[in-house]
Structure 1
Amino acid sequence: MYNKKVSLLLGGLALFIFTPLIHAQCAARFDKVEHIYDDFESYHALQQVDSKKELRISVINDESCQLQLVITSENQAQLKGQFQSVPYQMQSIQSQLVSTSTLKLSFTNSSTILSLLIPSGTPIKAGVYTDRLQMKLYDQGSKLLDEREYSIQENIVPRTSLSVLGYNTFSNTINLGELIPGKEYTMLPSLQVVTNSDIQLSVSSDNNGKLIHSLYRDKYAINYSLDLAGSWLELNNVSQHKFSYSGQTVYLLPLKIQLNDFERQAAGEYSDIIRFQISPLNY
Structure 2
Amino acid sequence: MSRMCEGRVVVVTGGGRGLGRAHALAFAAEGARVVVNDLGVGLNGTPVADSPARHVVDEIRAAGGDAVAHGGDVATSAGAESLVEAALETYGRLDTLVNNAGFLRDRMLVNLDEDDWDAVVRVHLKGHFLPLKHAAAHWRAEAKAGRAPAARIVNTSSGAGLLGSLGQGNYSAAKAGIVGLTLVAAAEFARYGVQVNAIAPAARTRMTERAFAETMTAPEAGFDAMAPQNVSPLVVWLGSAASDGVTGRVFEVEGGRITVMEGWRAGPTADKGARWTPQEAGEAAVKLLGEAGVPGAVYGA
**If each structure's strand is expressed as a fraction of its own residues, which one has the higher value?**
1
Class of the TM-score when normalised by the shorter of the 2 chains: under 0.3
**If each structure's helix is expressed as a fraction of its own residues, which one has the higher value?**
2
Larger Rg: 1
TM-score (norm 2): 0.19
TM-score (norm 1): 0.20
